[in-house]
């Protein structure tokens, strides 16, 4: 029973991370209609930068400051995203899809090696954070408190995002641009700024996913593609362009993977792809998609 509870909590934790990344991907797609193959790289950037910063600061500063440092990786992602979007990506929205797929793939390669160059090949970790919070008793076993905090952070971000998109004026502008760019532009919205902000926001979310997960997992090379594929699976299941879909998709994928790892450890990825294929066959736009 306790093992089950732990598995469930692990699933929710993983789902939280997935939601952030897939949500970012969905957001960018919803507003700009592109899928950024380097999105996984922002996740990796978030993980590496946060791990590095926390690793460097641990032992020198108050433990609670370390928490405030968590989002640093996410901010790094947002800034980089804000720089890339207007310069490299925007000229390609109107052209054939292949071009921006190739372009973002090139960016992915560049980011991979840049991370290797900057941070070296040793895995980085941010153990200080997870140690600081200790563990708590859960039905006979101990479970890291940090995981709950991470879930809470992701939940808070989800709520904030929901409020932002549906409750603020800027959210209205965002949704308007997503629905009909020309009309929004005709009505006087600064579409360029909206694009930059949307892309930065999506990248921030991906980076935050990486930042949250890195205390529990070390930051290693190869994260980008791995996470890209899983995030893609989530948005396929949940539907491109829908945050609600990203949430549900993240939960489904997470629970399937956890169950898969438990019962079919060697082929748990394959189980996931079978589900993707099934979803694509019967509901090509995903559960909530509008692509």
Partner 1 sequence: MRLSTNWLEGVSFRRFLVILSGVGVLLALVPAFIPILETELLTYGLIFAIAALGFNLLLGYTGLLSFGHAAFFGVGAYTVAFLVRDFGVVTIEVAILGGLVMSILISALFGIICVRYTRIFFALLALALSQVLWTLAFKFYWITGGTDGIRVPRMLLLGGLLDFTGPGDYFTFLYAYYYYVLVVFLLSVILMWVIVHSPFGKALQAIRDNEMRARFVGIEIIKYRWIAFIISGTYTGLAGILWVPMNRLVQSEILYWPVSGEFVFMTLLGGFRNFTGPIFGAIIYQRMHVEIVGLIEYWQFFLGTVLVLLILFLPTGIVGGVTQLLARLRGQPAPRMLDVMAMLKQGVARLRRKEGV
Cβ distance to partner 1 smaller for residue 130 or 228: 228
Alpha-carbon gap, residue 193 to 126, rounded angstroms:
35
CB neighbours (10 Å) of residue 180?
12
Sequence-separated (6 or more) residues with CB below 8 Å from residue 198: 27, 28, 31, 32, 174, 177
Cβ distance to partner 1 smaller for residue 75 or 276: 276
Give me the least distance between CB of 5 and partner 1, in Å please: 29
Give me the least distance between CB of 64 and partner 1, in Å please: 37
Give me the least distance between CB of 79 and partner 1, in Å please: 19
Token code pair at residue 177: 């641009």
Of 133, 136, 150, 148, nearest to 47 (Cα)? 150
Sequence-separated (6 or more) residues with CB below 8 Å from residue 26: 235, 238, 239, 240, 241, 242, 243, 245, 246
Give me the least distance between CB of 143 and partner 1, in Å please: 28
Cβ distance to partner 1 smaller for residue 155 or 284: 284
Give me the least distance between CB of 272 and partner 1, in Å please: 9
Cβ distance to partner 1 smaller for residue 4 or 186: 186
Q: Which residues bind partner 1 (CB under 8 A)?
A: 35, 86, 88, 90-93, 95-99, 101-103, 105-114, 116-117, 181, 184-185, 189-195, 225, 228-229, 232-233, 236, 266-267, 269-270, 273, 276-277, 280-281, 284
Distance from the Cα of residue 38 to its chain's centroid: 12
């Amino acid at each position: 029973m306790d093992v089950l509870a732990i598995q469930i909590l692990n699933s929710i934790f993983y789902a939280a991370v997935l939601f952030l990344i897939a949500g970012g991907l969905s957001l960018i797609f919803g507003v700009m209609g592109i899928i950024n193959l380097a999105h996984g790289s922002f996740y990796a950037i978030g993980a590496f930068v946060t791990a590095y910063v926390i690793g460097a600061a641990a032992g020198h500063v108050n433990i609670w400051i370390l928490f405030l440092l968590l989002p640093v990786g996410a901010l790094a992602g947002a800034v980089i995203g804000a720089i890339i979007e207007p310069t490299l990506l925007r000229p390609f929205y109107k052209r054939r899809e292949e071009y921006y797929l190739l372009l973002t793939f090139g960016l992915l390669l560049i980011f991979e090696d840049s991370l290797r160059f900057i941070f070296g090949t040793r895995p980085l970790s941010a153990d200080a954070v997870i140690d600081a919070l200790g563990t708590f008793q859960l039905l006979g076993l101990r479970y890291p408190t940090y995981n709950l905090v991470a879930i809470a952070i992701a939940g808070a971000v989800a709520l904030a995002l929901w409020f932002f998109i549906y409750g603020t004026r800027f959210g209205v502008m965002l949704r308007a641009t997503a629905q009909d760019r020309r009309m929004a532009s005709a009505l006087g919205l600064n579409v360029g700024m909206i694009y930059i902000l949307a892309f930065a926001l999506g990248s921030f979310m991906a980076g935050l996913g990486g930042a949250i997960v890195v205390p529990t997992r070390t930051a290693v090379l190869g994260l980008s593609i791995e996470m890209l594929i899983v995030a893609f699976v989530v948005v396929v299941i949940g539907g491109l362009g829908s945050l609600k879909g990203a949430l549900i998709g993240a939960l489904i994928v997470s629970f399937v993977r956890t169950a898969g790892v438990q019962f079919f450890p060697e082929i748990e990825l394959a189980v996931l792809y079978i589900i993707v294929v099934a979803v694509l066959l019967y509901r090509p736009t995903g559960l909530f998609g509008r692509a």
